[in-house]
Structure 1
Amino acid sequence: MDVIDVITAKRDGRELTPEQIDWVVGAYTRGVVADEQMAALAMAIVWRGMTRAEVSRWTEAMLASGDRLDFSGLARPTTDKHSTGGVGDKITLPLTPTVAACGAAVPQLSGRGLGHTGGTLDKLESIPGWRAELTPEEMRRQLRDVGAVVCAAGGGLAPADRKLYALRDVTGTVESIPLIAGSIMSKKLAEGTGALVLDVKVGSGAFMPTATAARELARTMVEIGADHGVRTIALLTAMDTPLGRQVGNALEVAEAVEVLSGGGPGDVVELTVTLAREMLTAAGLTTAKDPADALADGTAMDAWRRMITAQGGDPDAPLPAARERRTVLAAASGTLTRLDARAVGVAAWRLGAGRARKEDPVALGAGVTLHAKPGDPVRAGQPLFTLHADEPERFDRAAEVLADGYEIGGEYDPLPLVIERVG
């Protein structure tokens, strides 16, 4: 094979053959194909797109570049959830133990935050003692004993995707639905789960700002799952406003514990229960305990405590808190009609809750508390936000972005939390 032939074929709008795809992905992973050559191919894919057959084979080639976990011997059926990321999206935390409490095994491989969206591992690392790195043997044992695990993906899973993702990030080739879908699905399929539910976010705080783009991404990923024998469905869910009332690592853990205790914000509870029901149905557990009951009767909380303890965490330990706080007050009275998810995410990032580079540390107690959500009545002088940071000099820049991130007016016409189901 000649990499120039592969690049020019896609540049000219031709469909790549399975042999070309297998070779170029494997050769790039081994270092035979140079970064600049793969960057040229990625840009050609951005411009020319891929057919369903190409995307499926591309995903398979990235899967073949590394290890695949196998949980087929477990007594419970496996099911997993993936979110495309948002602001205040702490759903994995209450969802994973809730689904385990209803009879499934949930092997949840998660990541860290970058930019304005938070990472599940960063949130869980605010729990004293909790560790993200597990071996496949430890994962299997915890799934057998607890039914739930949230941990980091090992370096052996889809190494082609890890290398290609870093390249796309610096070559302007991130925004390609075939490449995004192949990246997500190669990692999720490598987990070895039997069923997969995708939470594809739509709105200002999401990677996909429009329902049209989100729907295309959802459809592509559902097709990849079907082509690889994994029952896959997707929900398009709203991310124009943050989920819940807490944005920031330890703040979101505390809110997730509220949900597991039978309380918490209505939108977080609704999405947790909706996704849990989809996961159980996809796994074939149609007569399982209802997730709402698991939250109400304490069995989801019991599974959470076992899951955290199994990974070295202390579920009773105090969570980190920021050293400083500042309250932002409403400038007018009326109804909160807009609360921009991206603005809140950027504010939390500026307060120290996120990172600009993968190697940056995060301030575990930093973030934003929301005292009102769209549709709520507010009065002039009422607290709208509480900002949490270790360094008070961070407050002004966070407040600056929030000032343009909300509106107080009259009528409010919300998006439904669950917009559409695909698959």
Structure 2
Amino acid sequence: MMTEGAGSVPSAALAALAADASPRGEAARWAVELLTGPDAGPDADPGGRFVPALAARIAPDFAALLARWRAKGPFLVASYQPVAHKAWVVLAGAGEGRHTLSLTLDSKGLIQQFTLQPEVVTPEIPTWDALEEALRTPGVETSALAARLTPEGYDVLHASAAERPMPAGSTNKLYVMRALAHAIDSGALTWDDEITVRSALRSLPTGDMQELPDGTRVSVRETAHKMIVLSDNTAADLVLDRLGRAAVEDAVADSGHHDPVLLRPFATSREIFELGWGDPELRKRWATAGETGRRALLDGIDRPLTVRLSDLGETVHQFGVDWFMNAYDVLGVLRGLAADSERDATGTVEDIMTAYPGLVVDRDRWTRAYFKAGSAPGVMMFCWLLRDHAGDTYVLVLRQQADEQKYVGDGLFLRGLGARVIESGLLGR
């Protein structure tokens, strides 16, 4: 690995990378060695390190990819940020500036995301006006909400277009989680019950449950964990199928959604993929249909998925193909999950909701951190529920929507803004 050079920050970054004994840390060290070592090294074959789909896509040209990446160096490790199953390594290059190496691991420790791109720099956010200035991007609609929860409701600290319904991507899984918590609470299910994988419910990544053979039995607990922590689409669809669509629609209403009709019928991820990127006539019919017509459309695509990841690209939220909510709806479902956690004597809801906080959390300040992200072509949103040592609870919601994916990017900027707000102390003022 490249030596740290002068200064304490690179030394600290290398020390943090070296000290990470998890599979995530081992994978990050392997990747960094490929980019900073004297050559690509003997272990440059990604076949045994990547999930099969990623290996098949990049393995044939992996040597050329590494050559292009290494040409941007030589690199110095400037920072290392590990969070749950993800890691971000900032590499300072002498040639083309600083780059971020991003890795995401699946539940088996295999790499399912592996990218290098110019570092996304987010500004300091000392005021709410600074947040709005940072969010302002041509071609992008944005929304933000920060609030402190109270026994009576909430106090708004900052809001911009917070009442606007916008596509939320995988944030819909919070409603599925609420419906599951209600089923557990009522005794209709237990965390140890099992769910059976079958082809009719297999979706596309994110996640890895779509790789499981038909007939595989997985506990409700593990499936729910993957649904929230890995944002596993197949896991969410399996849970929704076990609960029934009506149970999730009830959870939407129970969580205080401002217009529950927007989420009726509550589509699975598989259905959204099929509607959005399958036969173009489907999304046109979905856009003009009412609730009854939409339910009939879903009945008509009750089959194994025909869409592939390579089919995704153009935005489809303009046709209503997504899950729509406003920022106050997000606050409501997060608050509901916190209440569900209080009723869950097993502690499983809390374990799942806090397993992946989305960023490095200052535990000297925050005792609880829930997080969920949602994305689709042209859609990006992040939300957090945070409790401090004084017992005060805050919700932060940041959202972007555009007619073209290029204006939204991969979420690193919006995630960075969330981190800046949380670090700034604005939530406590």
TM-score by length of 2: 0.27
Going by fraction, where is strand more abundant, 1 or 2? 2
Higher relative CO (Cα under 8 Å, sequence separation at least 6) belongs to 1
TM-score by length of 1: 0.27
